[in-house]
Amino acid sequence: MQARQLPLALRRAAASPFYRRRLGPALPRDRAGLADTPLTTKQDLRDSYPFGMLAVPRNRLATYHESSGTTGVPTASYYTDGDWTDLAQRYARKWTGIGPADTFLVRTPYALMITGHLAHAAARMCGATVVPADNRTTAMPYARVVRALHDLDVTLTWSLPTEPLLWAAAARLAGLRPDRDFPSLRALFVGGEPLSRARRDRIAEIWGVPVVEEYGSTETGSLAGQCPRGRLHLWADRAIFEVYDPGTGRIGPDGCGQLVVTPLYREAMPLLRYNIEDDVEVRYESCGCGWALPTVRVLGRSASGHAVGPATVTQARLEELVFALPVRYEVMFWRASAQPHQLRVEIEVPAGHRDAACAELAAAVRAEYGIEVRVDPVEPGGLVSRDALTATADVVKPRGLFGPDEDWDRALRYY
Ligand SMILES: [Zn+2]
């Protein structure tokens, strides 16, 4: 499939001002040519802002997106209608299925990024009813999400993995039990941040439904999805994947390093060997699910850690230890500070489980790293404020005239 589609993908790339300028007569014509093509970096995309990568006339564009880097210079990406068919199809490859009977709550941002629109388009393509519930808007605080999940019989959701934990806390504050009072819910789709197996299992346990992970970016859309056996598989029928080791410069089809992707179906913004700069491990191995696609473990930035004494503590491993605590301790929120000679951890935990939870987590950290650790309990609400979980929407429209008892400082405010 890759060999069949690659020539067209390369012809499309030849229309991109960026690739014409960079590669000139060396524009690749086949797989061997692609192997000699230098990687496209995030910096290349930033330098091409806004339309330096555009390979079709502007009037063919359907949407424009940006992802915000740490440097503040935006990375632009854009898609045609044809691109959107490919994007929505890839996202819709969920083993749980998405169908007309589903009510699909989209809880990722709609502004500039692709994530909300991607889930929205995929769910619409499958005939589902979409509830747009952007997580960066004041119109949709957590209490309102819980109300929507409950009252609208939501069956599927799309969010960061942290969100269902916040919904669970908000649901409990509203007197609802996540595993009992949302009987229509049948799966939680999550992506956008690294997720350890222990945290994924814990979210599934709390809600009593499968948690289905998704991996992608605003520049590429979905790159991998989770199979029924719990592994992430790369969509190698829609893109060519390679792994780049920045230490040695080696680029190969598998192993550990940074993920490099050449999408095969892009019209508006072709990318050749785009380095996503996420740390991954790619393997070609058989999986019980039967999908003939390589597997990927996404380590992201959570793979790099901080030194504490002789050990290097990583967010990924620490998260495993926190979420390995028994579910009855109700520990969902935590934070840790890596200091030179001690790891300081705080966990939100109800009074009844305070001593056991702290002692068990401290023992687990010592056993894992052999370092000094101090685990302190925090009252529920201490890390994630109850106000944030119980607040209701307070959105005002701009107006000028106020009554005698109204606060006219709210004039022209949109929040
Ligand atoms: Zn599998």
pLDDT digits (tens, 9 = 90+) for 203-237: 999 999 999 999 999 999 999 999 999 999 999 99
Residue 335, both tokens: 């934070």
Task: Residue 81: name the closest of 71, 89, 70, 73 by CA.
Answer: 89
- What is the distance between the alpha carbons of residues 28 and 32, in angstroms, rounded to a whole number? 8
Q: Cα of 307 to ligand 1 centre, how many Å?
A: 35
Model pLDDT, residue 392? 84
What is the CATH code for 2-300? 3.40.50.12780
Q: Cα of 253 to ligand 1 centre, how many Å?
A: 18
Model pLDDT, residue 330? 95
Task: List beta partners, residue 105.
Answer: 131, 157
Q: Cα of 293 to ligand 1 centre, how many Å?
A: 8
Q: Cα of 353 to ligand 1 centre, how many Å?
A: 37
Task: Residue 40: name the closest of 246, 346, 269, 260 by CA.
Answer: 260
- What is the distance between the alpha carbons of residues 118 and 140, in angstroms, rounded to a whole number? 19
For 289-313, the pLDDT digits (tens) are: 999 999 999 987 656 789 999 999 9
- What is the distance between the alpha carbons of residues 364 and 322, in angstroms, rounded to a whole number? 9
Model pLDDT, residue 335? 97
Q: Cα of 217 to ligand 1 centre, how many Å?
A: 21
Q: Cα of 297 to ligand 1 centre, how many Å?
A: 12
The H or E element that residue 258 is part of is strand 255-263
CB 382 within 8 A of CB 401: no
CB 2 within 8 A of CB 241: no
Phi-psi region of 141 (alpha: psi -120 to 50; beta: other; left: phi over 0): beta
Q: Cα of 271 to ligand 1 centre, how many Å?
A: 27
- Within the chain, which residue ranges are assigned CATH 3.40.50.12780? 2-300
Residue 16, both tokens: 């991109």
Q: Cα of 198 to ligand 1 centre, how many Å?
A: 18
Task: Residue 243: name the closest of 295, 193, 202, 199 by CA.
Answer: 295
Q: Cα of 180 to ligand 1 centre, how many Å?
A: 29
Residue 32, both tokens: 């061997």
Report the chain's mean pLDDT, rounded to a whole number.
94
Q: Cα of 241 to ligand 1 centre, how many Å?
A: 17
The rounded percent of the chain whose pLDDT value lies above 90 is 89
CATH of 306-384, one of 3.40.50.300, 3.10.580.10, 3.30.300.30, 3.30.70.360: 3.30.300.30
- Within the chain, which residue ranges are assigned CATH 3.30.300.30? 306-384
Model pLDDT, residue 393? 72
Place of tokens 């019209």: 267
Q: Cα of 249 to ligand 1 centre, how many Å?
A: 29
CB atoms within 10 A of CB 3: 9
The H or E element that residue 42 is part of is helix 42-47
Mean per-residue pLDDT for 33-55?
A: 96
For 157-188, the pLDDT digits (tens) are: 999 999 999 999 999 999 999 999 999 999 99
Cα 33 to chain centroid, rounded? 33
Q: Cα of 376 to ligand 1 centre, how many Å?
A: 39
Peptide bond before 109: cis, by omega within 30 degrees of 0?
no
The H or E element that residue 363 is part of is helix 354-369
Model pLDDT, residue 394? 65
Q: Cα of 232 to ligand 1 centre, how many Å?
A: 7
Cα angle at 105 between 96 and 135, to 5 degrees?
Answer: 125
pLDDT at 412 over 80: no
Q: Cα of 96 to ligand 1 centre, how many Å?
A: 13
pLDDT at 395 over 90: no
pLDDT at 415 over 80: no
Task: Residue 55: name the closest of 273, 272, 277, 236 by CA.
Answer: 272
Q: Cα of 178 to ligand 1 centre, how many Å?
A: 28
> Worst-scoring range by mean pLDDT, 45-54, 66-75, 248-257, 322-331?
66-75
Model pLDDT, residue 409? 85
- What is the distance between the alpha carbons of residues 310 and 103, in angstroms, rounded to a whole number? 50
- What is the distance between the alpha carbons of residues 311 and 403, in angstroms, rounded to a whole number? 63
Mean per-residue pLDDT for 239-256?
A: 96
For 9-43, the pLDDT digits (tens) are: 999 999 999 999 999 988 999 999 999 999 999 99
